[in-house]
């Protein structure tokens, strides 16, 4: 786990006039933290899920409300059921959590970019820790599944989403590896998720990280009127 790099002490910082730009690029640091979501994050979670539905052109399937999310999330301890990690970003070191969960130590990492990241929606995704603004950049939503062949649980990743202005920077990898790290910590056997078969870039990315794409399995879904009807199939 990478700790957030503290700002360099004054003595180590070159005087601006002494710093040739071509040899000591200062860049634009971004301090990031992955932490467990809490009930007060539901408005952000709802907006992130909606953005994901827009991105996937699946808004016709989107019916989640803040109320529906609130009523069936955060009912179990973290990792025992539906669990959400949030990605926070800031241009300054992020203050420690006032009430950290005993279940999870936040993962912090500092990035350094050549150009600043421009976030046109920063107001809608801001949290303030005291006076300090921190932006919610993405999330991963996961829960335990189970392999009866292995005789042990794993994690199923339902959603992995990074807002558009923060993509292709390694943040998605950071979120997914946080889930993998938690799985290993708990002695779980697998992390699984699904991908669309035409999403070649995603498949290549997953295979490069060591994942296997299973070619033969298909998802079956019983929902709506068919679900209502089938509950009485045994009468």
Active-site annotation, residues:
206
What is the C-alpha separation between 231 and 126, in angstroms, rounded? 44
125 touches 47 (CB < 8 A): yes
Should residue 54 be labelled a site residue for its own copies when binding is judged by CB under 8 A? no
| Contact of 171 with 162, CB cutoff 8 Å | yes
Cα 144 to chain centroid distance, Å, stands at 16
Q: Does 114 bind its own copies (CB under 8 A)?
A: no
Among 38, 47, 51, 82, binds its own copies (CB under 8 A): 82
The residue within the footprint of its own copies, chosen from 122, 126, 129, 193 (CB under 8 A), is 193
The stretch among 11-19, 92-100, 127-135, 225-233 that binds its own copies (CB under 8 A) is 225-233
Considering only 7-15, 22-30, 56-64, 117-125, which stretch makes contact with its own copies by CB under 8 A? 56-64
Distance CA 232, CA 126 (A): 48
Please tell me whether residue 208 binds its own copies under the rule CB under 8 A. Answer: no
Among the residue ranges 4-12, 19-27, 126-134, 175-183, the one whose residues contact its own copies (CB under 8 A): 175-183
Nearest residue (CB) to its own copies, 22 versus 216:
216
CB of 37 to its own copies, least distance (A): 12
Residue 139 CB burial class (10 angstroms; 0-12, 13-18, ≥19): buried
In angstroms, the CA 191 to CA 147 distance is 11
Among 58, 92, 113, 124, binds its own copies (CB under 8 A): 58
Q: Is 65 exposed, middle or buried (0-12, 13-18, 19+ CB in 10 A)?
A: exposed
Interatomic CA distance for residues 35 and 198, integer angstroms: 32
How many Å apart are CA 24 and CA 39, to the nearest integer?
A: 43
Complex with its own copies: residue 97 or 190, whichever CB lies closer: 190
Minimum CB distance to its own copies, residue 18 (Å) = 32
Give the shortest CB-232-to-its own copies separation in angstroms: 7
Closest approach, Cβ 126 to its own copies, in A, equals 22
């Amino acid at each position: 786990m990478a700790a957030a790099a503290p700002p360099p002490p004054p003595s180590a910082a070159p005087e601006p006039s002494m710093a040739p730009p071509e040899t000591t690029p200062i860049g634009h640091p971004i301090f990031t933290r992955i932490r467990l979501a809490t009930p007060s994050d539901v408005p952000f979670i709802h907006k992130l899920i909606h953005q994901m539905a827009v991105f996937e052109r699946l808004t016709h399937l989107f019916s989640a409300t803040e109320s529906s999310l609130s009523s069936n999330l955060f009912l179990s301890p973290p990792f025992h059921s539906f669990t959400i990690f949030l990605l926070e970003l800031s241009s300054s070191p992020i203050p420690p959590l006032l009430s950290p969960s005993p279940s999870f130590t936040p993962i912090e990492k500092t990035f350094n970019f050549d150009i600043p990241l421009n976030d046109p929606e920063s107001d809608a995704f801001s949290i303030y820790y005291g006076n300090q603004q921190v932006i919610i950049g993405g999330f991963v939503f996961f829960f335990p599944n189970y392999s009866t062949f292995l005789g042990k649980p794993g994690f199923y990743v339902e959603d992995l989403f990074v807002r558009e202005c923060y993509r292709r920077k390694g943040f998605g990898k950071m979120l997914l590896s946080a889930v993998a790290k938690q799985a290993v910590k708990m002695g779980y056997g697998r992390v699984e998720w699904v991908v669309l078969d035409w999403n070649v870039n995603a498949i290549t990315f997953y295979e490069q990280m060591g994942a296997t794409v299973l070619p033969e399995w298909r998802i079956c879904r019983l929902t709506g009127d068919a679900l209502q009807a089938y509950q009485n199939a045994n009468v």
